[in-house]
């Protein structure tokens, strides 16, 4: 499987947001794997080795900061870019996300344009559209 064919993993507990962002990713030409909580997100990352992970920070079972630390501490997964997603632009959230190892940070609601620009930056121009 080439880099271009690898799926995007979205870890987000809000079903409406998950559907919205999954639709955007499909329109960008990506395959998508969805996880509703931190534990299953880390498990699916190991299973599928996605091209990129979109990580909600406020998540059940294991929050996005902890899930990101586990991914970045795993030799097999550390290279995968993690883009943090959060609804509340709480002071300090961005810093904590970057400290945990996130490569980029997006505030919800996310637009298709922002998603596309961030993917281009993080994946080195491989993103569609």
Is there binding between residue 56 and Mn ion (CB under 5 A)?
yes
Among 28, 48, 49, 58, binds Mn ion (CB under 5 A): 58
Is there binding between residue 93 and Mn ion (CB under 5 A)?
no
Task: Pick between residue 13 and residue 39 the one whose CB is nearest to Mn ion.
Answer: 13
- Residue 5: count other Cβ atoms within 10 Å of its Cβ: 9
**Which of 8-16, 23-31, 37-45, 72-80 is the region at the interface with Mn ion (rule: CB under 5 A)?**
8-16
Backbone angles phi, psi at 80, to 5 degrees: -75, 125
Closest CA to 119 of 48, 24, 40: 24
Closest distance to Mn ion from the beta carbon of 120 (Å): 25
Is there binding between residue 39 and Mn ion (CB under 5 A)?
no
Which residues here bind Mn ion, judged by CB under 5 A? 13, 56, 58
């Amino acid at each position: 499987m080439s880099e271009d064919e690898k799926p995007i993993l979205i870890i987000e507990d809000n079903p409406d947001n998950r559907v919205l962002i999954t639709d955007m990713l499909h329109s960008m030409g990506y395959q998508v794997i969805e996880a509703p909580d931190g534990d299953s997100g880390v498990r699916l990352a190991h299973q599928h080795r996605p091209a990129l992970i979109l990580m909600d920070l406020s998540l059940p079972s294991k929050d996005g900061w902890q899930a990101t630390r586990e991914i970045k501490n795993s030799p097999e997964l550390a290279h995968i870019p993690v883009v943090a997603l959060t609804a509340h632009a709480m002071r300090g959230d961005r810093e904590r996300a970057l400290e945990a190892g996130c490569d980029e940070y997006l505030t919800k609601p996310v637009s298709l344009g922002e998603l596309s620009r961030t993917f281009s930056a993080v994946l080195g121009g491989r993103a569609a559209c």
